[in-house]
Amino acid sequence: MMTDRELLELIAVKVASLEVIAEKVTSLEQKVGSLETNVTIIKSDMAEMKSDMVGMKSDMTEMKSDIKLLQQKQDIVMEQTAGLTEFCASASEKIPNSNDSIEFLKARQTALEEEVFRLKKKIS
């Protein structure tokens, strides 16, 4: 059987051990509180990221629409450019013929003016 002193010492050791355990529990509670705070911050950050992603998806949809519109405009410009190219080619082919016609008309006018001059001379 144990003496009173031994019992008191044993109780003192157990109390000291309980105090250490209580300190560790308090420390763990503080760490859990800190973890809960961190989890709350992470959840908030994730919600913000989700919101940003929704905004980015909206922006991407708008950009796709803009790209489609630009492609349509580019197609129109390409069609108009092709039409202008055909017109220029056609006009370029006609210009040399026009130059020949103008030269012919000038020569013909000169010949007619000479003829008129001779006729006037005969009449007078």
Q: Measured at the alpha carbon of residue 87, what is the angle toward residues 81 and 97, in degrees to the nearest 5?
A: 155
pLDDT of 73 reads: 96
Query: What gap in Å lies between CA 101 and CA 6, rounded to an integer?
Result: 137
**pLDDT in tens for each of the 124 residues of the chain?**
889 999 999 999 999 999 999 999 999 999 999 999 999 999 999 999 999 999 999 999 999 999 999 999 999 999 999 888 887 777 777 776 677 788 888 889 998 999 999 988 888 7
Query: What gap in Å lies between CA 113 and CA 120, rounded to an integer?
Result: 10
Query: What gap in Å lies between CA 104 and CA 124, rounded to an integer?
Result: 30
pLDDT of 93 reads: 73
Contact 32, 40 (CB under 8 A): no
pTM: 0.48
| N- to C-terminal Cα separation, the chain | 173
pLDDT of 60 reads: 98
Q: What separation in angstroms does the CA of 39 have from each of 60, 94, 98?
A: 31, 80, 85
